[in-house]
Amino acid sequence: MATTDFKDYYAILGVSKTASPEEIKQAFRKLARKYHPDVNPGNKQAEASFKEVNEAYEVLSDTDKRKKYDQFGQYWRQVGDGGFPGGAGVDMGGFDFSQYGTFDEFINELLGRFGGGAPRGGRQSYSYQTPGGRPGGSYGGFGDFGFQDVGTGGAQDTEATITLTFAEAFAGSQKRFSIGNETLDVRIPPGAKPGNRLRVKGKGQFNPMTQQRGDLYLKVELQPHSFFQIEGDNLVCEVPITPDEAALGASIDVPTPDGSVNVKLPAGVRSGQSLRLRGKGWHLPKGGRGDQLVKVAIVPPKDMSQQEREYYEKIRAIRSYNPRSHLQQIKL
């Protein structure tokens, strides 16, 4: 049976997986009367439903068939013929699959035993082929985002790395990309930061065991910016100033995400000292903004005019301040 042809017999009969034989029989009789051809002459849909109800009851009313169906899902028929799920034709040798919730868990533990992987229940990427030839586990083919399966059972969650510019991450943006034949528009909220994982529900990998799709997780990365960096909720930048601005103080223009602002440098500011611009930083998840930290770097001139050199020499000749005076007392 192809993985896409898998039928949930419990859902067809409208009972739970813990239903008693009597509950299954009652549900079957009710649905058989409802969809019987004599009651619905010429109704093809009712005829198809009647066949499905009979098929479901045939399996769930048989103790042995029901046990294999519960253990192996769509693979129960192959197991019933004495072969390994997927038609490999390997005798099971009495091996008990009941300890595994899904075939994925069995594969994960098998690879963990022989390949040094994680134990059952851990989150590990793996690769195998389903009976229909569809890859299960890690595989690519999803464009530029490097998708990787990160699930071991149940619905298969998928993870990708999405790279944003500082502008896209700061203000929020709409990103479009394709997964197979499916095109997704994903909204990036303002304030996305490196390492954030954005969840897109129901857009992960299809799990043939459960007939469900997992979620897609987009891990955010930022392209480097020429001026700004992120530290926590704050933006950090470095601004060069001249020696005279550091000594005498000055007013300088500093870029921020909202445009240039004028910042007053106090006289005697030191190289490496940071000035805080409140509310000019990164967007916060619950609203508001962090701060922008302006790190000062005193940069001496490389090329000086003759007059500039003369004045610097005069300053050196009359300078009374020695910033290294305290070093005279330093010893091992």
- One DSSP character per residue, 74-99 reads GGHHHHHTT--TTT-----TT--GGG
If you classify domain 127-222 with CATH, what class do you get? mainly beta
Cβ-in-10-Å burial (0-12, 13-18, 19+) of 6 comes to middle
Domain map of the chain by residue range?
Answer: 3-115, 127-222, 229-327
Q: Which long-range contacts (C-beta less than 8 Å, at least 24 apart) are formed by 118-126?
A: 120/152, 121/152, 122/152, 123/150, 123/151, 123/152, 124/152, 125/149, 125/150, 126/152
Round to whole Å and give the CA distance between 272 and 239.
Answer: 10
- Please state the pTM of the whole predicted model: 0.52
Q: Encoding tokens for residue 221?
A: 């990365």
Round to whole Å and give the CA distance between 250 and 268.
Answer: 10
Contact 20, 27 (CB under 8 A): no
DSSP helix/strand/coil, 195: coil
Residues 6 or more apart from 283 whose CB is under 8 A from it? 170, 190, 191, 289, 290
Instruction: Return the pLDDT at 168.
Output: 94
Contact 292, 205 (CB under 8 A): no
Topology match between the domains 127-222 and 229-327: yes
Which residue numbers in the chain have pLDDT < 50? 1-4, 80-94, 113-153
Instruction: Return the pLDDT at 285.
Output: 85
Superfamily covering domain 3-115:
DnaJ domain (1.10.287.110)
Round to whole Å and give the CA distance between 159 and 199.
Answer: 9
Instruction: Return the pLDDT at 238.
Output: 96
**CATH annotation of 229-327:** 2.60.260.20
> Angle formed by the axes of helices 44-60 and 63-72, to 10°?
100
Instruction: Return the pLDDT at 114.
Output: 41
Round to whole Å and give the CA distance between 68 and 59.
Answer: 10
